[in-house]
């Protein structure tokens, strides 16, 4: 360690939902810790994504932190699906309440993190030259924090304004009367389009793959309603804890084939009119696993699109043909389909005319040149592993994480990586967070990690890493969970597909998320604790890992 190195017992990378709660827990246990955040402020997703229409798809009152009764008592949600400015305000409120900002350093981009095998510490380089070190490196880097631009020629040639939705101008941007082109029809684009269609002069939507979407059915929350919700918080979070996705929507327990077609349609009609993910998550469980059941639901949803979009040809183009409803995370929309009934909104099907390049004036397809004042890139993210790949992470013996994960993503519990001691991921790839209502998964992960660190400190451990066999078992368990789900067939960020990232464009499945559901995840990670942190090797003692052959093995095999 040189004199110039700033050392902390723990460094948390990222000041989003995970980083905020993680630093709180580290400070509570009296640890010397700091948060390094690349952006200019805290809030992660809610700091960056300021595009029009950005809001929760989780019910607001299920999104907040549960760790503090005071926060629950003091914060009022104003909308059922709260918009970005309120969400950022909420996270700032929590950080300020516990005086966390003083432990966060902004505009700090971590370039590299190298593990020192002799001293069992991590050495970091921040912003090119600043040297820092820590015993515990905690990754709160976010699942969707690295935006990706299309690999198109001429992006810099465009003379008008253009932004990726993630980098929307913080001071706001007035689109009134403007000629706008938007690339993408993911959850983000679907929010943007619904919001701006009636404000812009014209809007051209460049769609490569149609995406299933369902109504958000948002509404305001009055003071009285908030008081009622508050009185039920305990109950609400109990439901979140027992549902697979950590939402308040519980799957319909009836068998799809046990009820008549009329009964099924009755449920779908009801759910389609209800707020949020009900139509996805309160549906029959078979829709996620059984082709025929999924097809029947998909056809029913297609008819809703046909009901809502007046022009028949446009409606057909908006109906996905390559995947069924709900096998990708379902975008929730407000007036998305109705936007296409407006004379100023035009759908450009990129299957009929491929995008060729960006020009000085707009976008060029095989069929036409489109002129715009503004181009919006709603083209998604290098999801889940992207933020890890951007840091030069080297573990024991100089092993490079980026290389390790190139062919196969392996973790233990989604929290530890073999060969990368003392690096912990409360919401990493293959953890319980990615496929859920994020903060519910994050709180579970951060709590577990914090308890673990207390244990490690109390027992004087200075090095921990997962055993190879435990890692293999967990990874196989994660892979097996995909095998029963129809989602394995979808080209989405859940399966690691991204046409704009080298190596991820082939559609070869990457096992990024844990699909076993929150209750199963919690029972496994709790069992690991009950078994004396089975599967983890402490201070290089290989016998530590031998403890893995216990209850966890049985559960993972189920």
Residue 188 touching ligand NA7 (CB under 6 A): yes
Residue 365 touching ligand NA7 (CB under 6 A): no
Question: Is the Cα torsion angle 153, 156, 160, 162 positive or negative in sign?
Answer: positive
Residue 83 touching ligand NA7 (CB under 6 A): no
Which CB, 358 or 548, lies closer to ligand NA7?
358
Total residues binding ligand NA7 (CB under 6 A) = 21
Residue 55 touching ligand NA7 (CB under 6 A): no
CA pair distance 506, 512, nearest whole angstrom: 16
Which CB, 185 or 431, lies closer to ligand NA7?
185
Residue 528 near residue 552 (C-beta atoms within 8 A): yes
**What residues are paired with 104 via a beta bridge?**
35
Residue 485 touching ligand NA7 (CB under 6 A): no
Provide the minimum distance between the beta carbon of 114 and ligand NA7 in the complex, in angstroms, as a whole number.
31
Q: Which stretch binds ligand NA7 (CB under 6 A): 183-191, 233-241, 444-452, 464-472?
A: 183-191
CA pair distance 191, 180, nearest whole angstrom: 15
Which CB, 52 or 186, lies closer to ligand NA7?
186
Q: Which stretch binds ligand NA7 (CB under 6 A): 6-14, 154-162, 377-385, 404-412?
A: 377-385
Instruction: Give phi and psi for 238, each to the nearest 5.
Output: -65, -45
Provide the minimum distance between the beta carbon of 218 and ligand NA7 in the complex, in angstroms, as a whole number.
16
Which CB, 53 or 380, lies closer to ligand NA7?
380
Q: Which stretch binds ligand NA7 (CB under 6 A): 74-82, 264-272, 374-382, 504-512?
A: 374-382
Which CB, 288 or 493, lies closer to ligand NA7?
493
Residue 520 touching ligand NA7 (CB under 6 A): no
Provide the minimum distance between the beta carbon of 457 and ligand NA7 in the complex, in angstroms, as a whole number.
35
Residue 501 touching ligand NA7 (CB under 6 A): no
**b/e map 399-428, b = 16+ CB within 10 Å:** eebeebbeeebbbbbbbbbbbbbbbbbbbb
Which CB, 240 or 378, lies closer to ligand NA7?
378
**What residues are paired with 206 via a beta bridge?**
183, 348
Residue 544 near residue 538 (C-beta atoms within 8 A): yes
CA pair distance 51, 189, nearest whole angstrom: 10
The residue within the footprint of ligand NA7, chosen from 493, 511, 514, 538 (CB under 6 A), is 493
> Token pair for residue 226?
């908030």
Kindly report the number of other CB atoms within 10 A of residue 481's CB atom: 21
Provide the minimum distance between the beta carbon of 195 and ligand NA7 in the complex, in angstroms, as a whole number.
14
Which CB, 194 or 421, lies closer to ligand NA7?
194
Residue 318 touching ligand NA7 (CB under 6 A): no
The residue within the footprint of ligand NA7, chosen from 216, 293, 378, 453 (CB under 6 A), is 378
The residue within the footprint of ligand NA7, chosen from 95, 104, 187, 467 (CB under 6 A), is 187
Residue 424 touching ligand NA7 (CB under 6 A): no
Which CB, 136 or 277, lies closer to ligand NA7?
277
Give Cα separations from 304 to 213, 215, 380 (angstroms): 10, 10, 26
CA pair distance 525, 190, nearest whole angstrom: 36
Give residues with Cβ within 8 angstroms of 30, minimum separation 6. none
Helix (H) or strand (E) holding 89: helix 84-97
Residue 214 touching ligand NA7 (CB under 6 A): no
User: Look-up: residue for tokens 């109950």?
Assistant: 235
The residue within the footprint of ligand NA7, chosen from 181, 184, 414, 426 (CB under 6 A), is 184
Q: Which stretch binds ligand NA7 (CB under 6 A): 186-194, 280-288, 310-318, 364-372?
A: 186-194
Residue 182 near residue 202 (C-beta atoms within 8 A): no
CA pair distance 35, 270, nearest whole angstrom: 45
- The DSSP letter of residue 215 is E
The residue within the footprint of ligand NA7, chosen from 12, 91, 95, 183 (CB under 6 A), is 183
Can you give 270-303 as a three-state secondary structure string? HHHHCCCCHHHHCCEHHHHCCHHHHHHHHHHHHH
Residue 536 near residue 470 (C-beta atoms within 8 A): yes
Closest CB to ligand NA7: residue number = 186
Residue 194 touching ligand NA7 (CB under 6 A): no
Integer-rounded Cα Rg, in Å, for the chain is 24
Provide the minimum distance between the beta carbon of 183 and ligand NA7 in the complex, in angstroms, as a whole number.
5
Sites for ligand NA7 among residues 108-147 (CB under 6 A): 144
- The DSSP letter of residue 495 is G
Provide the minimum distance between the beta carbon of 164 and ligand NA7 in the complex, in angstroms, as a whole number.
9
Give Cα separations from 229 to 19, 221, 350 (angstroms): 27, 9, 45
CA pair distance 350, 181, nearest whole angstrom: 13
Residue 533 touching ligand NA7 (CB under 6 A): no
Sites for ligand NA7 among residues 143-172 (CB under 6 A): 144, 150
Interface map 324-363 toward ligand NA7 (x if CB under 6 A):
-----x--------------------x----x--------
Judged by the rule CB under 6 A, the positions of this chain that interact with ligand NA7 are: 144, 150, 183-189, 208-209, 211, 329, 350, 355, 378-380, 493, 499-500
């Amino acid at each position: 360690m040189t004199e110039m190195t700033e050392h902390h017992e723990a460094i948390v990378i990222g000041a989003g939902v995970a980083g905020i709660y993680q630093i709180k827990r580290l400070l509570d246990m009296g640890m010397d810790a700091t948060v390094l955040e690349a952006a200019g402020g805290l809030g992660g997703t809610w700091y960056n994504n300021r595009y029009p229409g950005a809001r929760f798809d989780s019910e607001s009152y299920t999104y907040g932190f549960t760790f503090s009764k005071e926060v629950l008592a003091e914060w009022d949600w104003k909308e059922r699906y709260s918009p970005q400015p309120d969400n950022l305000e909420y996270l700032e409120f929590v950080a300020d309440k516990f005086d966390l900002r003083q432990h966060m350093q902004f505009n700090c981009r971590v370039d590299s993190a190298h593990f020192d095998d002799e001293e069992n510490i991590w050495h970091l380089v921040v912003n090119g030259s600043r040297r820092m070190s820590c015993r515990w490196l905690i990754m709160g880097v976010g699942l969707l924090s690295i935006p990706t631009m299309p690999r198109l020629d001429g992006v810099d040639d465009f003379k008008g304004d253009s932004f990726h939705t993630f980098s929307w101008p913080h001071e706001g941007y007035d689109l009134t009367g403007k000629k706008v082109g938007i690339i993408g029809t993911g959850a983000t684009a679907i929010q943007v389009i619904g919001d701006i269609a009636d404000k812009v002069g014209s809007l051209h939507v460049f769609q490569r793959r149609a995406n299933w979407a369902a109504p958000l059915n948002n509404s305001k929350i009055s003071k009285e309603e908030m008081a009622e919700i508050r009185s039920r918080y305990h109950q609400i979070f109990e439901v979140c804890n027992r549902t697979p996705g950590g939402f308040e929507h519980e799957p319909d327990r009836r068998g799809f084939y046990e009820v008549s077609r009329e009964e099924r349609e009755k449920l779908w009609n009801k759910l389609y009119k209800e707020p949020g993910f009900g139509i996805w998550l309160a549906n029959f469980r078979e829709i996620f696993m059984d082709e025929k059941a999924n097809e029947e639901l998909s056809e029913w949803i297609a008819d809703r699109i046909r009901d809502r979009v007046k022009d028949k040809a446009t409606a057909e183009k908006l109906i996905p043909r390559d995947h069924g409803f709900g096998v990708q995370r379902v975008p929730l929309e407000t007036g998305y389909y109705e936007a296409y009934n407006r004379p100023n909104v035009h759908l450009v099907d990129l299957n009929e005319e491929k995008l060729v390049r960006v020009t000085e004036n707009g976008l060029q397809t095989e069929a036409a040149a489109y002129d715009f004042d503004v181009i919006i890139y709603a083209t998604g993210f290098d999801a889940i592993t992207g933020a890890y790949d951007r840091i030069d992470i080297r573990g024991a013996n100089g092993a490079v994480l980026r290389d390790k994960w190139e062919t196969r993503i392996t973790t233990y519990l989604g929290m530890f990586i073999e060969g990368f001691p003392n690096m912990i991921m409360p919401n990493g790839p293959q953890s319980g967070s990615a496929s859920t209502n994020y903060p519910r998964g994050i709180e579970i992960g951060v709590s577990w990690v914090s308890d673990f660190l207390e244990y490690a400190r109390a027992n004087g451990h200075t090095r921990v890493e997962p055993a190879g066999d435990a890692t293999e078992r967990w990874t196989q368990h994660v892979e097996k969970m995909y095998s029963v789900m129809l989602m394995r067939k979808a080209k989405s960020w859940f399966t690691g597909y991204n046409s704009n990232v080298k190596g991820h464009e082939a559609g070869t499945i990457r096992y990024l998320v844990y699909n076993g559901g929150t209750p199963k995840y919690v029972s496994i990670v709790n069992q690991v604790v009950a078994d004396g942190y089975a599967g983890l090797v402490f201070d290089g003692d290989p016998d530590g890992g031998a403890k893995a052959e216990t209850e966890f093995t049985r559960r993972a095999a189920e």
